[in-house]
A and B are shown apart, each in its own frame.
Chain A
Amino acid sequence: MKVMTTLVSGDSSGAALEKSTTWLPEKDIFRSNAKYKVIQGVDLWAFPKIIFGGAFLGILGFATQDTVKWSSLFTQAPIAKEIPAQKIQFETIDLADALKLFYSKDVVFLDAREKKYFDYGSIRGAENLDPEKIGSISLATLKRWKEKSAVVVYCNGVSCGASFYAARQLIEQGIDNVKVYAKGWPEWKSCHLPMTMSQAMMKEEAGAHEESN
């Protein structure tokens, strides 16, 4: 049996002079040879083989799955095939629409960020919503949201997928008036629109205001 081996030729002081990769008979690797020293016996070609082989398997697996589709790779939130398209549709709204809805009383804003960020600062009147726990929300709360003319979900801007994920979860819970305010909290905050602020945020805002003056 031959084994691919990386060899370093060197002089008696141990200084490496030349490096080469070659196939050697197994017995020769164990043979005393002052000229060569085996470096760990790593086959460099194995790395691309494993990685590209794995990538091929991954793509093959993805292509054969029913729960995912290619377009979902480039969207904010994954969209499952098994849910009918009309059921998962939700409207993405901009700041102007969000403001209109904000001032129409029969709307609830849901903040899909983590509680500590919500506590720090949020759109005034918004409720915190953990997208992973939507399944455990009480029926009374779901019913209350369902009765609203719109449920607006937002999170930490366009790079944040939590609002889209939450929207889908809400639709799966039977709430069909869901809208996603995609630019979310960063845009709302930068426009100094009505917010609920923690003490820490107030201090920070005051500091920033003083600095700008």
Chain B
Amino acid sequence: MKNQTENRTWRYLVGRSAAILLGLIFLLAAFSKFGDLGEFQKALAMDYFIPLWLRGGAVLLIPGIELSIGVCLIVGGYGREAALIAAFLLFGFAGLGIYGDVTSNAHSCPCFKIHLPAWFDINVGRWVMARNLILIMFAFVSFTWNKKTTQSLEHNS
């Protein structure tokens, strides 16, 4: 029983760390866009495979949703739900990135558009895929292990 509790604590710590790290990355992404929404809008306009109606919505919603996800992940309130939404978003971004790369229609990934070194704001391609896969992994770790108050009672029943 003691081992089980220790194991649970260890998992919780890993899950919580993953959540905080992912949250920081989402906050960074949100603030880099909020820093100059015009720049973000320009970047989306460059990627002309994104439909016009979606560009306006993306400019309005994505930075805000990234901000709320980041805050939830770091603070811990609705952290697991935020991790799930983050995973869905990252899957979406990865899909768009792959499509943009395959069709050569995307100029760059406007993920962290400004105020960051160039190596961080990488162009579309396999490195974006790799980065997204790592972030999706973080999201799943924080979803499955970042839980202190719930557990399956299957083994108890």
Point out residues on A near B: beta carbons under 8 Å: 1, 3, 5, 26, 29-34, 36-38, 40-43, 46-47, 49-51, 53-62, 65, 67-68, 72-74, 76-78, 80, 114, 116-117, 131-132, 155-156, 159-162, 164-165
Select which of B38, B68, B147 is within 8 A of A67 by beta carbon.
B38
By a CB distance below 8 angstroms, the chain B residues around A72 are 41
Let me know if B60 and A73 touch, CB within 8 A. Answer: yes
Of B17-25, B43-51, B90-98, B126-134, the one contacting chain A is B43-51
Let me know if A38 and B150 touch, CB within 8 A. Answer: yes
How long is the Cα–Cα vector from A26 to B36 in the complex, in angstroms? 44
Let me know if A41 and B154 touch, CB within 8 A. Answer: no
Let me know if B153 and A32 touch, CB within 8 A. Answer: yes
By a CB distance below 8 angstroms, the chain B residues around A34 are 157
Select which of A40, A41, A165 is within 8 A of B46 by beta carbon.
A165
Chain B CB within 10 A, most for which of A54, A59, A78: A54
Extra 8 A-B pairs, beta carbons < 8 Å, given A30-B151, A61-B37, A62-B60: A30-B153, A33-B157, A41-B147, A46-B78, A47-B81, A58-B60, A73-B60, A114-B107
On chain B, the number of residues with a Cβ less than 8 Å from chain A's Cβ atoms is 45
Given contacts A72-B41, A132-B108, A159-B51, are A54 and B152 in contact (CB under 8 A)?
no
How long is the Cα–Cα vector from A125 to B137 in the complex, in angstroms? 49
Quick check: is B72 within 8 A (CB to CB) of the other chain?
Answer: yes
Quick check: is B76 within 8 A (CB to CB) of the other chain?
Answer: no
B101 to chain A, nearest CB (A): 12
Select which of A50, A117, A156, A160 is within 8 A of B69 by beta carbon.
A50
How long is the Cα–Cα vector from A77 to B152 in the complex, in angstroms? 51
Let me know if B150 and A40 touch, CB within 8 A. Answer: yes
Let me know if A132 and B107 touch, CB within 8 A. Answer: yes
Given contacts A62-B37, A159-B48, are A50 and B81 in contact (CB under 8 A)?
yes
Let me know if B37 and A160 touch, CB within 8 A. Answer: no
Interfacial residues of chain B within 42-85, with CB under 8 A of chain A in the complex: 42, 45-46, 48, 51-52, 55-56, 59-69, 72, 78, 80-82, 84-85
Let me know if B48 and A51 touch, CB within 8 A. Answer: no
Quick check: is B3 within 8 A (CB to CB) of the other chain?
Answer: no
Let me know if A57 and B64 touch, CB within 8 A. Answer: yes
